[in-house]
Amino acid sequence: MEETYLLNVEGVKKKILHGGQGELPKLQDGSKITFHFQTLKDDFERTVIDDSRDAGIPMEIIVGKMFKLEIWETLLSSMRIGEVAEFWCDTIHTGMYALVSRGMRRIAEGRDPLEGQKHRCGMGNMFDYHSTGYDDLDELQRTPQPLIFIMELFRVEEPSAYKRDTWAMSKEEKLAAVPVLHSEGNRLVLRKEFRQAAAKYQEAVICLRNLQAKEKPWEDGWLKLESLVTPLVLNYCQCQLELGEYYEVLEHTTELLQKHNDNAKAYFKRAKAHAAVWNEREAREDFMRVAHLDPSMAAAVKKELKQLGERMRKKHVEDRKRYQGLFQSHQG
């Protein structure tokens, strides 16, 4: 079909490859759009950069949630359900594509899309990408260029028709979700489903951290949210102890204690993790802090220290036997 300029949007041309059905869907804030896409270079070979079919799952974006490549919302709003269309987009619309692609590729590889940039603000990150970790995307960053997007629109869902992802929720929805996630986590712990419980606690923490990011650290609003975060992190750490993820417990409890150095429960969980990975001195120090901060936990501490002493003695005996065996085999 004939190539046309799209919706009076500068620097975009559209060609319909396969017609869709019905009216144009009405998009509103919070609508979820599901589609497949292919990204091509505007060169003689039409070099393929990305293809969502390779990942095996279609792409989803939420309208109005600051998706880094804003032009995609515009392109998709011109399509009917079932339509396949090709869009040529000039450089003014494609500058962020390398970063978007990097995140999508990381998700497809089962990695964290925010790896290495978790603790910085979005604008700061834009100037921080020396390399995306992918040669073809590094080239796109160095030399921004027009790109071709081939899209197939599958469905558009109203905001109420699907379970909202945490990041897509409003402030009120996040606050309402936290106690629900907390109690779901507790229910799963009672059933000894620790991995699923940890995921619930983690999701609740993410909701609160997102809200905290909009508050001034250590002011009332921030502190109120922090008081909700702390028990969730401790519950998460308890699940990780049950799952044997001791280094993760060390990381999260240490982070918590940097802000709240009088939290006896955090010291107790960190001590147990230290003990599990044979850090005897650190475990003893943390257990002693627990007894000092919360005398009501003294009996539990005494029991843990006794177990630690027995484990360490057993380990020393086994180590000695192992070394003797090695020494004798070398002599022999």
Q: Mind listing the pLDDT tens digit for each residue in 27-83?
A: 888 788 999 999 999 999 999 999 988 877 788 888 876 566 788 988 999 999 999
In sequence order, the 6+-apart residues with CB closer than 8 A to the CB of 157 are: 31, 32, 34
Q: 133: number of CA atoms within 13 Å, CB side?
A: 14
Q: Measured between alpha carbons, how far is 59 from 65 in angstroms, rounded to an integer?
A: 15
Determine the number of helices (DSSP H) and then strands (DSSP E) in the chain.
Answer: 13, 7
* 301/133: higher pLDDT: 301
Q: Measured between alpha carbons, how far is 50 from 105 in angstroms, rounded to an integer?
A: 9
Which single residue is written with the structure tokens 């880094």?
68
Containing 185, the helix (H) or strand (E) segment is helix 171-190
- Cβ contact 61:72 at 8 Å: yes
pLDDT of residue 218: 87
Tens digits of per-residue pLDDT, 82-136? 999 999 999 999 888 888 888 878 777 666 545 544 443 443 444 444 577 888 9
Q: Would you state the structure tokens that stand for residue 325, as one six-digit string?
A: 């065996």
Q: Measured between alpha carbons, how far is 136 from 138 in angstroms, rounded to an integer?
A: 5
Is 97 in a helix, a strand, or coil? Answer: helix
67 — phi, psi (to 5°)?
-60, 135
Q: Would you state the structure tokens that stand for residue 17, as one six-digit string?
A: 């490859």
pLDDT of residue 330: 55
203 — phi, psi (to 5°)?
-65, -40
Q: Which structural domains are found in the chain, ordered by start?
A: 4-157 (3.10.50.40), 171-318 (1.25.40.10)
Q: 310: number of CA atoms within 13 Å, CB side?
A: 6
- Cβ contact 78:153 at 8 Å: no
Which single residue is written with the structure tokens 């996040």?
174
In sequence order, the 6+-apart residues with CB closer than 8 A to the CB of 223 are: none
Tens digits of per-residue pLDDT, 245-271? 999 999 999 999 999 999 999 999 999
